[in-house]
Amino acid sequence: MTIMTLDDAAAQLEALGNPTRLKIYRTLVKVGEEGIAVGQLQGRLGAAASTLSHHLQKLIQVGLVTQERQATTLICRANYNTMNGLVSYLTEQCCVEQRASCRPNAA
């Protein structure tokens, strides 16, 4: 796993800051590692193909989503490694300046 930088985290959070992209991403997270065909994703969201494509490209650009072509079908998946890296980046410094830590793994 690569080390998350401030710029990477900011770009990913910016991408997720759009309501449509957040809805797309949450849907991909819900469907799991198998992913979902773009056409099925479009049907679930009720989005125009061009709108969906635009938003998917932004999520792919920042590494939150991957796409794989299977014959004539394009499968979209949430990139769980990137998602977990972002969450870890956001929480790794939790309460480090306090004696009683809020981190679940702290003793």
In a domain, 68, yes or no: yes
In a domain, 99, yes or no: no
pTM given for the model = 0.86
- State the total domains in the chain: 1
Which residues in 6-23 are b (16+ Cβ under 10 Å) and which e? eebeebbeebbeeeebee
- The arithmetic mean of pLDDT across residues 7-19, rounded, is 97
In a domain, 107, yes or no: no
Domain containing 17 — which CATH number? 1.10.10.10
Q: Which domain holds residue 17?
A: 6-91
In a domain, 44, yes or no: yes
Q: Strand, helix or coil at 99? A: coil
Retrieve residue 12's tokens: 């990913």
Q: Within a 13 Å sphere around the CA of 66, how many CA atoms are in the beta-carbon half?
A: 14
In a domain, 1, yes or no: no
pLDDT at position 95: 80
- pLDDT greater at residue 79 or residue 103: 79
In a domain, 97, yes or no: no
Q: How do residues 47-99 score in pLDDT, each as one tens digit? A: 999 999 999 999 999 999 999 999 999 999 999 999 999 999 998 888 878 76
